[in-house]
Amino acid sequence: MSITSILRSILFVLAAIGSVAGSVFGQEPAQGPHVEGLIRAAESGEPLAGAYITLVGSGRTAVTHGDGHFHIRVPGSPPWYLKIERLGYGSVLVRVDNRTSASLVEVSLEPAALDVPGLVVIGSMTTRGTDQAPHPVDVLAGEELQRRLQETLAATLAGEPGVTATSMGPATARPVIRGLSGDRVLVLDDGVRVGDVSNSGADHATATDVSAARRVEVLRGPAALLYGGNALGGVVNIIRDEIPTDEVHHFHGTSTLQGRTVNGGVMGSVSALMPLSARVPVRFEFTGRTGGDLDTPEGPLKNTQIDNWSAGAGSAILSNWGSVGAAFRYYQNNYGIPGGFLGGHTEGVRIEMERTSSRARLSLDQPVGPFQSIQGDVAYTWYRHTEIEPPDILGTFFKRQVISGDLVGRHSGITSFTSGAVGLRGAFERHDFAGSLSTPDTRLSTLGLFALEEATLGPFTVEGGLRWDWARSDPLQKDPDSDIGDVRARTFQAASGSFGALWRVTDGVALGGSLARAFRIPDVAELYSEGPHLAAYIYEVGSPDLDTEVGTGFDLFLRLGGDHLRAEVTAFHNRISGYIYPRETGDTSRVQLPIFQFSGEDARLTGFEGLMEWNPWDGLVLSGSTAYVRGSLVDDDLPLPLIPPLQGRVAAHLTKPAWFVRIEGVAAARQDRLGEFEGPTAGYVILNVSAGVRHTIKGRLNALTLTMENATDRIYRNHLSRVKEIMPEAGRGFTITYRVVF
């Protein structure tokens, strides 16, 4: 039996664990201040298993088990608000005025085709609905996350307005938000930076997997001061709740199994919470994925196999005063980069990467001076990345270690402010290099201080923040006479700020806008690289004199919301002083690789995004979205490279509590505004079809989804993919996903 067959067998076994493990652990009575509830289906009165309950303002969650009951720990005094979500039903917001068991919270959920927007935590002081955020934000969870689940984070998010993907093969897809990618888009795991090197090369994958995530949040635009500099494009936060935040009274979790015909791939994952005691919850997770070469209408894209797996565990001790907890995660990914580029290997390059991360958190949920709560996080990440040329020659080696600490104090009711936070973040990073890439080992130290405040004044919600950051990049091998310039230590500092406002004009109509100034320091490769990066098939040359990027941008948006219609349209503009990008010099190195040198020039990006969902009659939703961005250099109006073309989606979605059917068309216009080293790509239209069923079996929610992508087997090319020079995107393929919530 082959290794791949063994791995696939293991994945099937792991995916089945969740459906039988619930009977092993009994239920414990609730301890301490809590709310108990019962969730039913309105049409039948039957209890609903697998419903998610979120305590608004704290992020604490619970899941209903087979009899529809839940328990959730509550802080402070009533009232509390619970957001209740379940596949096939409309979500509701419930006010709870007491926590006595005699007044059990009973909620009946109605079937709904057009759901209330989900809750979001990034970029905000408290958990809130996306329709109440003073900046554009998206949430991907539940059925939508299951239907769109792909091998990578970027491919999973690619259907969100303004979000696309760039890649050098299916394993390396990275998110692009409003034309910005790499180091300008922060990717977070439960609010902590992933700490890989995906920002420094098109061939570098993002070292995380979303298969076992509970939800993914996307904040577009430079308005996320809590997460530091570099967020000129936006922030993506993968929420797993690795460190549990609430009491656990019974064993519960999710188990997922997925198969794909387009690459013969299979994925299995299981994540679960179990009580050592009600106040000592333990969470564990395992995910594995394997797949072969991608199948396209013109044949297989060679050397695009992927094999990865990850495992994690976390626990916390909960108390009336707060909690203390820790978590650990291991991630491994081995994948291929196709050959055929100028200077590249005919057979491509193999990449092996590993990441381990550990974190600890202390939360004080009782008032301390002016603060309602204080939270401190310490995290350590170790990352290794090896690029292997045929047959087994070390080409390039990266190693990154990051130690970071965050301290945030949140308050409410000070003067006229509704809520706010002050905090600081410090980090020390060690970057080591080996192989053919001649970048000096470098140490990077950063420190940031911020304050963010929010006030509600009648129909207006305003939010403002300030941040100051300091950073020092220190190469261990200094060389004032280097061919690329004076390789020396550099110190950067900058102030950032944002202001956002939301005006609720009438019930269901809101106007909003935000203005932000963000910054980004040059990364180590942009400053000091000098040598061939063979997996990316380029010769990189840094510029030690590069200065800080400073972006000033604004959003203006209109939101419409109601029982049968929801829409949002946003216009944005972002001007970046000293925008850093690799410019093709026109020369080739001694190993015949094209030479790219990093340079900084002023740039501007302007565009719009739109989303509409209309429920004309029971169960049917017609939807459409569109996004466009125009990126240019300020001085000569020349196009920036790797800017996505005008794109759009239209879909018809028919849903009932027990099943759904969806037909979707995806279109992109021709892109002929080209950077220096790009070629044009033709426009295209592709068709996707999906269907799914949901059923509760022995108290466990089961959901099965079948998707046919590129149903007409259309030949098309993604402008942001370097693979387009060799092969088109994937041909017709079927994906089947089975999930159990237990």
Q: Which of 83-97, 123-137, 297-311, 455-469 has the lowest mean pLDDT?
A: 123-137
- The answer to whether the beta carbons of residues 310 and 287 sit under 8 Å apart is yes
pLDDT reading at 366 higher than 60? yes
53 and 149 housed in the same domain: no
Strand 490-506 to 509-520 pairing: antiparallel
Give the DSSP letter string of 347-397: T-EEEEEEEEEEEEEEEE-S-BTTBSEEEEEEEEEEEEEEEEETTTEEEEE
Task: Let me know whether 155 and 39 are in one domain.
Answer: no
Q: Is a pLDDT exceeding 80 seen at residue 437?
A: no
Which residues are CB-contacts of 539 (< 8 A; sequence separation ≥ 6)? 531, 532, 533, 588, 589, 591, 593, 594, 595, 596
**d(Cα 229, Cα 220) in Å, to the nearest integer?**
14
Spatial CB neighbours of 110, under 8 Å, sequence gap ≥ 6: 42, 43, 89, 90
Residue count of the chain, please give it.
742
Range of the domain at 247: 119-741
Number of domains in the chain: 2
Q: Residue 583 — left, alpha, or beta (φ > 0 → left; ψ -120 to 50 → alpha)?
A: beta
Cα–Cα dist 197/203, whole Å: 10
Same domain, 395 and 491: yes
Answer whether residue 584 is part of any domain.
yes
Torsion of CA 678, 683, 687, 688, to 10 degrees: 30
Domain edge (last residue) among 109, 144, 177: 109
**CA–CA dist 651, 687 (Å, integer):** 10
Domain end residue (candidates: 109, 135, 165): 109
Four-point Cα dihedral 610, 614, 619, 625, nearest 10: -20
Instruction: Report the predicted TM-score, pTM, of the whole model to 2 decimal places.
Output: 0.86
Average pLDDT over residues 67-82: 80
Quick one: 105 and 124 in the same domain?
Answer: no
pLDDT for 643:
94
> d(Cα 178, Cα 668) in Å, to the nearest integer?
15
Q: Domain check: are 104 and 252 in the same one? A: no
Final residue belonging to a domain, choices 61, 79, 109: 109
Torsion-angle region of residue 218: left (phi > 0), alpha (psi -120 to 50) or beta? beta
Same domain, 75 and 174: no
* Residue 58 pLDDT greater than 80, yes or no: no
Q: Domain check: are 186 and 65 in the same one? A: no
For residue 138, the domain's CATH number is 2.40.170.20
Q: What is the pLDDT of residues 469-488, one digit of tens each?
A: 999 999 999 999 988 899 99
Residue 367 main-chain phi, psi, to 5 deg: -60, 135
Could you tell me if residue 10 is inside a domain?
no
Determine, yes or no, domain membership for 5.
no
Please choose, from the candidates 499, 498, 409, 518, the residue with its C-alpha nearest in 3D space to the C-alpha of residue 460. Answer: 499
Does the residue 605 lie in any domain?
A: yes
> What is the rounded CA–CA span in Å between residue 186 and residue 123?
12
Residue 48 is part of a domain; what is its CATH number?
A: 2.60.40.1120
pLDDT, position 394: 83
Say what the pLDDT of residue 726 is: 86
Q: What are phi and psi of 225, to 5 degrees?
A: -65, -25
Residue 105 pLDDT grade (very low, low, confident, very high; cuts 50, 70, 90): confident
What is the spatial distance between Cα 336 and Cα 720, in angstroms, rounded to a whole number?
A: 18
Give 253-283 pLDDT, tens digit per residue: 899 999 999 999 999 999 999 998 878 999 9
Are residue 58 and residue 143 in the same domain, yes or no?
no
Beta bridge partners of 383: 355, 400
Task: Decide: 632 and 640 in contact? Cβ < 8 Å.
Answer: yes
Has residue 4 been placed in a domain?
A: no
Q: Are 49 and 64 in contact (CB under 8 A)?
A: yes
* Whether 80 and 133 share a structural domain: no
